[in-house]
């Protein structure tokens, strides 16, 4: 069975909103074994929406629309789908009652334009929307199916999981697609290609690399009658990848580097403090994203000015004068200062030139020194990152986490 998405909303075309809903739905299509060859995005315009729908129904068995179910005049999806399919809209008294009750319970006055959200074709089934006003609709028409879903992700995603995914699983081929993501640091995409190129020609299982900010992710995908069957196809490929590049693999699927570092620290009963200059607290922010990180992450110092490096971390003024703030010595002293002053097992110090200004021939934009201090001593590594200011800052954080991850992994 072929499936197609029609995303409706001028804001999507203008680039104000990224179509995250379609991405989530595409993943569910894949997991359900539905063939997904086309996706359209169209503005809030009845003529063009009708054209998009006619094209979609001509070539696909299942068409899912996203957005345009609300009460305002630019919400036209329900009407245009009905027109395109030659179906009449009726008012559903159950939906209407529920809408009015919702307004009452929130103390809001009923506005009559809301009544259009209670309309549906007679043959439609209702898809519950406990997080908003407009319900979704499931409309069988001959051997085709239309599914209409609301745009706000807070409504769309729960409806996808609870109402639509079970329907798609039933409509799909029965083949289940499973994938696993291996996450690598400390290696570039071209090196990964060079090392794994011969494994990338397969189709079941398949292997594809994705370059991220200072990371590479490898997606291993397979299809089979069951999820466990698909995973069994992936397992030997994963073993081969681990054999070749295992030293760079820090995690799988959704695991972030900070998750892995916090987990390692916690299991070793050890703690971390950070001293950040060019990252301005970004590393601390990443570490505190991890729920439960408080056991392992003690805190940090944002030491942007030299005076802060001296007064809060004990960086030696003479070293700042002699070597400069972006130097091996200062990175080491920052790492040691964070470790000692916060009484942590490990300290990290980051100092660099994030740009776009401030670079010199000797210390260009992108030069970052990162120090790690621990029970076995203190070391620092020089990085020369490409990219703009925010990229340099993000890469610095990942590189710092990578350095500590290597120490902790042993
Ligand atoms: P609508 O259902 O068209 O009234 O959309 C309501 C809100 O949901 C809009 O403000 C959009 O920003 C958001 N939205 C609509 N469609 C999408 C989509 N495909 N992905 C993510 N957000 C969306
Ligand atoms: Mg809209």
Q: pLDDT tens digits for 127-166? A: 999 999 999 999 999 999 999 999 999 999 999 999 999 8
Is the bond into 315 cis (omega within 30 degrees of 0)? no
CB 365 within 8 A of CB 251: no
Distance CA 203, CA 233 (A): 11
Global confidence as pTM: 0.73
Ligand 1 pocket, residue 70 CB under 6 Å: yes
15-29, 174-188, 335-349: segment of lowest average pLDDT: 174-188
| Residues 265-313: tens digit of each pLDDT | 999 999 999 999 999 999 999 999 999 999 999 999 999 999 999 999 9
Q: Which atom of ligand 1 is nearest to the CA of 155?
A: 8
Cα(219)–Cα(210) distance, rounded to whole angstroms? Answer: 8
- Using a pLDDT cut of 90, give the percent of the chain over it: 92
Give the residue carrying structure tokens 């397969």: 202
Residue 32 binned pLDDT confidence (cut-offs 50, 70, 90): confident
Distance of CA 293 to the CA centre of its chain: 20
Alpha-carbon distance 169 to 198, whole Å?
33
Whose Cα sits closest to atom 23 in ligand 1? 151
HSE-CB at 7 with a 13 A cutoff on CA atoms is 24
Q: Pick the residue whose CA is nearest to atom 16 on ligand 1.
A: 151
Query: Is 44's C-beta closer than 6 angstroms to any atom of ligand 1?
Result: no
Check pocket membership of 74 for ligand 1, CB cut-off 6 A: no
Q: Does the beta carbon of 366 lie inside 6 Å of ligand 1?
A: no
């Amino acid at each position: 069975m072929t499936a197609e998405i029609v995303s409706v909303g001028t804001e999507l075309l203008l680039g104000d909103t990224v179509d995250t809903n379609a991405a989530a739905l595409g993943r569910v299509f894949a997991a359900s074994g539905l063939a997904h060859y086309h996706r359209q995005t169209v503005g809030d315009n009845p003529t063009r929406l009708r054209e998009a729908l006619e094209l979609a129904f001509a070539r696909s068995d299942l068409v899912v629309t996203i957005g345009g179910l609300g009460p305002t005049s630019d919400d036209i999806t329900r009407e245009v789908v009905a027109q395109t399919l030659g179906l009449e809209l009726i008012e559903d008294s159950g939906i209407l009652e529920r809408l009015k009750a919702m307004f009452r319970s929130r103390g809001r006055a009923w506005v009559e334009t809301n009544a259009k959200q209670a309309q549906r074709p007679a043959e439609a089934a209702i898809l519950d929307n406990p997080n908003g006003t407009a319900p979704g609709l499931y409309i069988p028409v001959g051997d085709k199916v239309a599914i209409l879903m609301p745009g706000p992700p807070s409504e769309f995603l729960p409806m996808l999981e609870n109402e639509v995914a079970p329907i798609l699983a039933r409509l799909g081929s029965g083949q289940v697609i499973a994938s696993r993501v291996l996450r690598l640091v400390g290696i570039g995409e071209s090196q990964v290609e060079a090392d794994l190129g011969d494994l990338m020609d397969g189709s079941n299982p398949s292997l594809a690399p994705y370059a991220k900010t200072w990371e590479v992710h490898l997606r291993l995908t397979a299809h089979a009658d069951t999820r466990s069957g698909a995973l069994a196809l992936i397992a030997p490929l994963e073993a081969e990848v681990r054999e070749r590049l295992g030293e760079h693999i820090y995690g799988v699927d959704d695991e972030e580097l900070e998750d892995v570092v916090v987990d390692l620290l916690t299991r070793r009963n050890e703690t971390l403090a950070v001293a950040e200059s060019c990252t301005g607290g970004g590393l601390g922010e990443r570490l505190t994203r991890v729920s439960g990180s408080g056991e392992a992450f003690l805190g940090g110092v944002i030491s942007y000015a030299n005076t802060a490096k001296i007064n809060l971390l004990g960086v030696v003024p003479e070293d700042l004068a002699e070597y400069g703030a972006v130097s091996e010595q200062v990175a080491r002293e920052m790492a040691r200062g964070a470790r000692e002053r916060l009484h942590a097992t490990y300290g990290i110090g980051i100092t660099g030139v994030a740009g776009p200004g401030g670079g010199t021939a000797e210390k260009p934009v992108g030069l970052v020194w990162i120090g790690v201090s621990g029970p076995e001593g203190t070391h620092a590594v020089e990085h020369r990152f490409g990219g703009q200011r925010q990229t340099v800052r993000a890469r610095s954080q990942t590189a710092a986490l990578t350095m500590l991850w290597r120490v902790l992994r042993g």
